[in-house]
Structure formats: C-alpha cells, structure tokens
A and B are shown apart, each in its own frame.
Chain A
Amino acid sequence: MEKELIDNVCEEKIYERIYDNHSEAINNYFYYKFGDREMAEESVQEAFIKLWENCKKVPFGKAKSFLYTVANNLSLNRYKHKKVVLKYANSVPQQTQDNQSPDYKMEEQEFKLKLEKAIQNLSEKQRVAFLLHRIDGKSYKEIAEILNISVKAVEKRMQKALESLREEIDAFK
C-alpha cells in the first residue's frame, strides 16, 4: 500500500516533490536551448500540467523522463531563438587572489566576455550539453538521459564544444 502511494504522481505531495526536483533543470535546459526566459518557464508549466493530466499513467520513477519527453515535444515554433545571456557569479572564490594586478583583471574580464560570446555561438546541441554540465553540474549520464542520447554522444558533444570554444577564443587573440 505504502509503495502504491509513493508511486502515485496524482498525490499532491509526490507531484510537488517532482516539481521541486526537476523544474529548475527543465527550465535551464530550455533556457540554454533558446535563450528565452519566458519561454523556458512556459515550457516547465506545460510539461508539468501534462504530467498532472497523465498522473495516473505515469509512475513516479518515469516522471522525469516523461517530463523531458513532453518538453522536447512541445511545439515551440512560435519562439525565436535568442542569445543565451549568462552571468558570472560575483561570489566566486578567486583562485588567484594573490595575483590580482590590474592587467590580470583586465585580461580576465576580456576572457570572460570572449567565453560568453563563444558560448552564444555554439551550436544549440553543443551549448545545451556544455551548459548543463558546467552550470547545472549534471553528469554526462544525466545529460544523456535529458537529451535522450547515449553517454558517448554526450562526450562527443562536450569534446566538440570545448574545441569550438577554444578555437573561437584563440582566434581573437
């Protein structure tokens, strides 16, 4: 009985827990893809409403993949791709605290800008995989699940992403 209860996504508590665990990742995934905050949040909404409507058919264990499947199938043609704008955290502990000459700071600032621009110019597939790993800290396995591809394919995307980023950044040197 207990297990059945846990399995039931229609249960408010369970549903909320699923939202708590996955909503942000889905949101970020869509943000990395399209660069549109509004659209990302709307996708989260739609995916979770679909989950609620199908709560009797979706066991707890399948909820995550259901959400991503729905999200991937949403018709998002009405949205235009925007630039993915990212922000550097202010409170990052500086590894090179002792080495903060003005020159260094300027160089760092310059690099950060170049990196952001280079990320914007990545292909959608590479960018999504790269940012899920770097920002959301998803493992390659998790990314593979989200994108519904193999881990090897994720590794390939990461490899390609790194190569393109380096090439673009070094090209402006």
Chain B
Amino acid sequence: MPEDPLHVVWVEPRFPGRLGAIADWFTRKRGYRSTFYCQNADSPEHWPSSVGRGLDLRAYVVGGAALESSVTWPRALERGLCHAFGFYEALERDKIRPIDVIVGRSMGIGSGLFASVHAPGVPVVQWFDGFLHAREHDLADEALADMPEAYFRWRQSAGAMDLLDLENAQACFTPSEWQRSTYPVEYHDTLQVLHEGVDLRTFRPRSDRPKILKGNPLAPGTKLVTFVARSLDRLRGLDRFVAIAERIASARNDVVFALAGDPKVDRPLDVQWHNHVYLDALQLCHPRFDWSKFQVLGHLRSDELAELMAMSNLHLAPGRIYPLCRSTLQAMACGAPVLASDTPPHRAVFGNGVIPGADIDAWVAQSLAVLDDQEFAESINSTNRQTIASRFDRDRNLVQLACQFDRLVSGSEVFK
C-alpha cells in the first residue's frame, strides 16, 4: 500500500463538490498536501475538516464567457475553456512547488486541460460524471415534446470538453460502470471505474434516539420518510416523491416527510425549472395534500445529514436515469431502508430490488410494506449494509486511488 504523502493539486468549479471529500480523505488519512482550486465554494460549514489543516483552498478567476450568467449552447466549450484557462492562470500566479499530481473534475466547465502547460510532465487525473446523449437518460428519456431543438443540440454537443480531457489526462476515473457506459465505446478502456465510497464514520447507524427535526422532537411513534438530493429537482424524482408521499399520508397519519437539499433547482439539465423552486409548483399540483407533513430542511452539513438518515424509517430514491446520488449510499450506510427507482445505476447497487420509477402504485405499496413491517425493513437494511461494506467503504476505495497516484508518480517527474 502506498504510504508516501504527495502534493496533489485539485480543481473543481465548486468546492467541496465531489473532489473535496476525496482531497479531505487523502489529507487526513495519508498526510497528503492538498491545494484545491475552485471558482466558488459552499459556505464554510459545508467544508471538510482538513481545510486549513493541510488542505489549502484557493480560488481561480475566470474571464470571458465564464463571466456571463449563461451562454448560448454553441458557446458551452468556450465557457469551459475559460475555466480551464482561469485555473492555469492561478497556477502561474501561485507557483506552487512541488506538484506530484493534478486532479480535475470538469463537469464540462473547467478542467485540468491547460494544467500541463504550467506543469509539464505532472500526471493529470480527471474525474468524469457521464456523457450526455441527445435523447437518452435523465429528463430526456421522457417525452419533452415542447422542448426546443436547441436543447437537444446542446445535449448532443456538450461532451466536447470531456473528450478533450479524456485525451489529455494520464488517468481517467468515473464512479460507476453505468457512467462509463455513457461514453463513446472508444473510451471505455480508458475510463477506470472507481467510486470514492462513503465515509462510514460519519454515515453510520445510530442507536435509537429521539427523532428531532429542525430542533423539534417528533411525536413518539412517528415514522420519518426522507428524500435527499443536492437540489430538490425532477431529476432526482421530487415529483414522484411528492406523489408517493401524498398517497402514504392518506394511508397512514403517523408519517412525516423530510426533504434535504437546496430548494432551488441547480442542474441546467432541467431547463424548465433551473434556478426555480420546483417544490412550489408541485404544491400547486397537490392542493389536497397536508403540506404540514413536509419538512424542507435545506442544504444540510454532513453530520446533520447523517443524523437525519439514521432517523429515517424509509429513504426514497425515485430519480430518473442519472448517476447514483451519493445520499442514497449515505442513507444505506446509516441504516435507513432504501427504495430506489429502476434505473441502470440503481440496478448496479440494488440488483432487482428496484421499483419502476413512474409506477406510483408500486412505490406506495412497497413503502407501506417497509413502514408496516419491521422485519421487511431490516431485511433491506441487512442487504444494504453488506453492499456498502463490500463496495462503498471510502477507506477501502480510496486506497485504490492512492495506488493509482503512486503508479502515476513513479512514472513521472515531480514538478519542482
């Protein structure tokens, strides 16, 4: 197992994002020095503990198209290049030495593409989320007859930055087989599947403790059903969750629903609701639902999220075909019985124990079965715990990444 600490420079448009937790692990567990570049960051309460203690957070500054609040679809790569150039300029400005590895996650807007101009010979590692297809996956799977052609043009052309990164990087990772399968077949051998796993010290079952939401204890016996996403959006199935919740609430009056995530839709994939509060629209669609049973908790810290999930009697993941939500794994790790929609990413985790996403009757039946039957809930939990322990333990999975870093560094020269 590689033990030597390295200096890794990380770049992701927003901190902590996905790489922040990985950088934190390497900093705390392996003594790495981490310099993390981002354009902007979540508020400090969401930062991992190593910030300022080995993880140095810095900003890169963008110009050109990246300063515009939005750009027309043919300019998406131009905007991404502005991010990549901003990162390059920050490296030139800071002149950090030495650098062993550069790790980037572009998401199409910013990457390590130009990092090797500053640090030639230093291995560049890229993290990939998936390759957009014009009319497949996420929301495009559903008939969007009213969407303008430009939407599909944008989706069809959005993968350019990923292809450049795939050609430019010395090592390429993606968290799941399904995400790898979204890329052109020519790149399948290039992409290594590695999930960063879940921090099982934070996300763990807790002994029976009173259920408290927003500082208010729930009545004894109250069942808690949870939904967690980065933002409360259609992509992760908020519409389905509300429909299921309404039916559960009509069947049982002892259930409270807790939602964690930013109420504002932040993924541009949902053009219709991007930057809007989708839940507001759903409330209008479900006027008879007792919305007092809904607790919208906003964007929670990791420890708060872990507490919520440990209290959960049922966690629903009714999303569309999209990369696995980290909160789904976190809920499993916390011992919440999880029901998930029948999507390829979910099948890879849950096998056949998934529910057709749009079949609200099936969701309600399964949900009530979990809430009614403790043994059934425990059987789901047992399977989930095994899955998490064997496949998603961060301490195990990131050791594999450390080995990859070690291999890359042994074949390169440290940038001094």
Same complex for A and B? Answer no
